[in-house]
Chain A
């Protein structure tokens, strides 16, 4: 069965509209900024406040920022593409998030712990499933709704699960992706792991220090033939391969040789009926932590031998955690449309052990046939998907 990608939208530190995102990607303009409010840390924040987004999208109730960002990306998807209400088509929604509404609940919980009065109502926004339900309610009366929570690979796994629902015949079209907002919980959590970059992150650079956190949301529209006949949406790409494999090495660190990543990349390539040499570009996970980039580089060398052009756009957005996979898939679709490979910013020196140089300037191609996109999460969760030109 062919799974067509017919729409995508995102919100992140480099903006919201496809035009804005494209222009910043080719202008090599990062969205990561030093935040005076946040002890001078470098973050990839969405520029609009909750207040301005709530006004823009007519949200009457206070929601967690995770929900608000999800609604922003979701509503834009519905505005831009034909997803007309119809009982002829079964429609699904699969969204990934790592921490749900914790940005909204953490302060109330700390008030409770400190013996202060707190508002119990706020906690209805906490569960990951509640975030997804709130977004779903603003978009469409979906036939099936699901939330995936596998940390930083969540939204890529949501793309895969949406495709599986389609293969099973449970949906004809499905909105897939994810959302994550920054919270104190995540900021302090990653700080406890000691993996922050003091400046803007430098994926795949020898002297990389670590990551910058970011926030965002992104959704893709997947349709089968039946849905496409009705919607008449333009086919942007086909989802031809995917794989999710475990590293079974450590709860948070990747194995040195990236065995899980090797198997997820190879699994996706095999499912698509391709050879490694057929891949035109790799959108790497590339968090810029010493561990991830070395492990991913080793895995790339093992799978490809001669590694195709690759880059990590986390140098533009920061690591948007559960949203990152779908966000980067959205960037890949823009790249495919414009026949452009987007660069990896702030790269200077190759990692000695692997000698790999990412794409450092925008590259115009005649045609981008197959893009492999990686997302790796805590729990040794390695996911790869392949987007193919039709």
Chain B
């Protein structure tokens, strides 16, 4: 597989991680009533830009603004994964439809910003980026599919690729979660972005393997398969970050955690877990982390192996 060196990683979520390093040891599980920790957006984006943006667009563009300050390297590809897309604007436009009388002219803003690829499209406009621009929306696997796509892009000669995992909170999701009796983790917000390249710039941390498997329910089997292929016994992995306590509580491993405790529940939670695992490797002597994502049990599992070079 093509290595994906992580040259930049930032996220906005219910954890206070933006512009911070070395947070792994202090990170706490989320409270049931936790909320997204928003930065002061006007430090990153103009008031004119901010006025029309939904939370997911604000968070995504603020992170990209931070990237822009740190480097001049333009992206050859912008790849975004999202399970549910731009929910706030979708909900807003449906409400506009509901309230409208038959001959009313509707305001198009929320419709325009409701399409799933609004985040990737707005990034291209914000950066004046003219290159490959895509949005994958395969439920909880959207981020890992995006990583695979990054590998294909780097393999075809591209040098710098942006990959993001974004999913919004929406009050209606809380209603559904109650109706379905899912009360395991608080619903949450995630915008996590990574600048990736085939060769490390300053970074020695890279995604070595992304294995996606639609044939088994067992996340543990997929993790074992990935480790076997890479020749690393699963017990030697420094951090196992999974989304399925049932599958993993039988293995004895000193550092095996359910990342949903820290990320909360959203379709891009594994993107945030990847940011946290990156921080763990970047600020310690540790060498390896495995993210095992089978958030929707019968809809495929993905395993991401992150390694630090010697």
Contact = CB atoms under 8 A, between A and B. Distances in A.
A141 to B, nearest CB: 7
B139 to A, nearest CB: 4
B131 A188 contact: no
B97 interface: yes
Interface stretch (A27-35, A104-112, A218-226, A294-302): A104-112
Contact of A380 (B93, B114, B125, B145): B125
Given A168-B151, A378-B115, A379-B115, A129 B130 contact: no
Interface residues of A, number: 60
A367 to B, nearest CB: 30
Contact of B133 (A114, A189, A379): A379
A148 B305 CA distance: 24
Interface in B119-137: 120-122, 124-125, 127-137
B215 A141 contact: yes
A378 B112 contact: yes
Interface in A232-257: 244-252
Interface in B76-110: 78, 82-85, 90-91, 93-98, 100, 105-108
Interface string A76-117: 000000000000000000000010101000100110111000
A143 B215 CA distance: 7
Contact of B172 (A112, A151, A184, A250): A112
Interface stretch (B173-181, B191-199, B200-208, B222-230): B173-181
A347 interface: no
Given A133-B299, A145-B300, A245-B131, A123 B176 contact: yes
A172 B293 CA distance: 25
Contacts of B152: 164-165, 167-168
A148 B137 contact: yes
A112 B91 CA distance: 11
A188 B125 contact: no
B162 to A, nearest CB: 12
B299 A150 contact: no
A214 interface: no
Given A128-B137, A129-B83, A193 B175 contact: no
B137 A147 contact: yes
Interface residues of B, number: 63
A306 interface: no
B121 A378 contact: yes
Contact of A259 (B95, B130, B131, B142): B130
A381 interface: yes
B13 interface: no
Nearest to B299: A133
B212 A144 contact: yes
Given A132-B138, A145-B138, A146-B145, 12 more contacts: A120-B179, A149-B85, A149-B117, A167-B155, A192-B108, A263-B130, A377-B117, A379-B117, A379-B122, A380-B121, A380-B125, A381-B121
Interface of A: 98, 100, 102, 106, 109-110, 112-114, 120, 123, 126-130, 132-133, 141-151, 157, 161, 164-165, 167-168, 170, 184-185, 188-189, 191-193, 244-252, 259-260, 263, 377-381
Q: What 7 A-B pairs come out closest when comparing CB atoms?
A: A379-B121, A149-B116, A129-B139, A120-B179, A189-B111, A192-B108, A192-B106
